[in-house]
Amino acid sequence: MPIKKITRQYFCKQQAKVLYRRTSSVSALTGREEFFGCICQPITTESPRQAGPQARVSGKDSAPPAKRRWVPPSTLRHQQDVIVTTESRNDLVFRKVRGILNKLTPEKFQKLSDDLLRTELTSHNILKGVILLIFDKALDEPKYSSMYAQLCKRLSEEAPNFEPPDSPCTFRLLLLNKCKAEFESRSELLDKHACDPHLDEEERRQLAKRKMLGNIKFIGELGKLEILSEGILHRCIQELLGPRRGEDPSEDLECLSQIMRTCGRILDSDRGRKLMDQYFERMSILADNFDLPPRIRFMLKDAIELRSNKWKPRKAAIIEGPMPIHQIRAFDEDRSEFRKGNLDLRDQDRNMSDYFKSH
């Protein structure tokens, strides 16, 4: 018996026959006509059903309730009949400023600082909150303190002023008060983190120490940009060299070494050289005091050596502070070329040693 060749047309005809049988059996039971899965309602002359209490639909057949779309607070548009309080308006401004600071880099400094100046800096409280946010970022990221100091420099020059014409600008006054408060409370940083249950004693101590050194470095960077006067920096150094306080008296000497490394070069001028000679004479005596920890004594000696070398560090290739991406790539290329040169010299030495061994 020859095998019948099944074509696409034959297959479609067979499927149509099966569907027709199924629809005819269903229409006989329901009184409706179906064809290829489509149900056609018969036309009737009955009046429509009156509206009344509907039957309760099971949960499976009911449509899910409509969900409200989440809208971020920064894009909310308040209606005219909604009263916006001063606190909520300030919170929106602080949220914008925090977002700008989180994205701040050397490449985006100009654009993001422009965005920061375009925010609603309309009161003393807002400027004070902006300074607090900048200080927190500078203390948490000491490596980027120079960039945050440049941001303060621009804000002190272009931010709105709420003071009389002959007095300093509002931002500079608030910044000076904040620097003074942070410097005077440097020994109390450990108590601020004492209530944190997620940190043990050693972690709290390290966190307080990092913030303390970050505060000193940020003050030094502000002094380098002449936001803080030399007189303020000299008073800070004199207090660090004075009677030490706190649980660890050597912390002030570590802060002294940090501020000397940061802004000692600008203080060692003709006007302040006599004071600097007195400071370093006292530091030389402390560096030979064996009652101090060796780490502190070596820090003091490094600062003394830095001044004797005319404030040029021994490792000139190390750049403190943030670096743009193109500088990082150039630095990596220089390092790779240096490593390649060392490998070539090593291969030459190895070949020479093999030559002498063979002869």
Q: Tell me the β-bridge partners of 40.
A: 33
Instruction: Look at residue 103 and tell me whether its pLDDT is greater than 90.
Output: yes
- pTM (2 decimals)? 0.66
Q: Which two tokens stand for residue 111?
A: 């654009």
Please say whether the beta carbons of 194 and 200 come within 8 A: no
Residue-wise DSSP of 45-104: -PPPPPP-PPPPPPTTTSPPPPPPPP--GGG----TTSPPPHHHHHHHHHHHHHHHHHT-
Instruction: Look at residue 139 and tell me whether its pLDDT is greater than 50.
Output: yes
Determine the average pLDDT of the residues in 257-284. 93
Determine the average pLDDT of the residues in 108-112. 93
Segment 51-102, tens digit of pLDDT:
444 545 444 455 556 667 776 665 655 444 444 577 788 889 999 999 999 9
Per-residue pLDDT, 221: 94
Please say whether the beta carbons of 3 and 10 come within 8 A: no
Please say whether the beta carbons of 40 and 32 come within 8 A: yes
Whole-number percent of the chain with pLDDT over 90: 37
> Cα dist. 196→138, 190, 192, 201, 205 in Å?
21, 11, 9, 10, 12
Residue 138: closest CA among 355, 330, 322? 322
Instruction: Look at residue 23 and tell me whether its pLDDT is greater than 70.
Output: no
Determine the average pLDDT of the residues in 327-339. 56
CA dist., res. 53 & res. 316, Å (int) = 87
Residue 306: closest CA among 238, 247, 257? 257
Please say whether the beta carbons of 157 and 179 come within 8 A: no
Residue 214: closest CA among 132, 102, 138, 101? 138
Segment 217-266, tens digit of pLDDT:
999 999 999 999 999 999 999 999 987 665 677 888 999 999 999 999 99
Instruction: Look at residue 34 and tell me whether its pLDDT is greater than 60.
Output: no
208, burial (CB in 10 Å: exposed 0-12, middle 13-18, buried 19+): buried
Q: How high does pLDDT run on average in the chain?
A: 76
CATH number of 84-186: 1.25.40.180
The DSSP element (H or E) to which 149 belongs, if any, is helix 145-158
Q: Provide the pLDDT confidence category of residue 339 given band limits of 50, 70 and 90.
A: low
Please say whether the beta carbons of 116 and 155 come within 8 A: yes
Task: Answer with the residue of higher pLDDT: 47 or 188.
Answer: 188
Instruction: Look at residue 189 and tell me whether its pLDDT is greater than 60.
Output: yes
Task: Answer with the residue of higher pLDDT: 193 or 240.
Answer: 240
Phi-psi domain of 15 (left: phi exceeds 0; alpha: psi -120 through 50; beta: other): alpha
Coil, strand or helix at 5: coil
The residue assigned the tokens 């309760």 is 56
Please say whether the beta carbons of 259 and 236 come within 8 A: yes
Q: Provide the pLDDT confidence category of residue 167 given band limits of 50, 70 and 90.
A: confident
Q: Provide the pLDDT confidence category of residue 35 given band limits of 50, 70 and 90.
A: very low
Per-residue pLDDT, 69: 74
- Residue ranges of the alpha helices (H) in 159-200? 170-184, 189-192
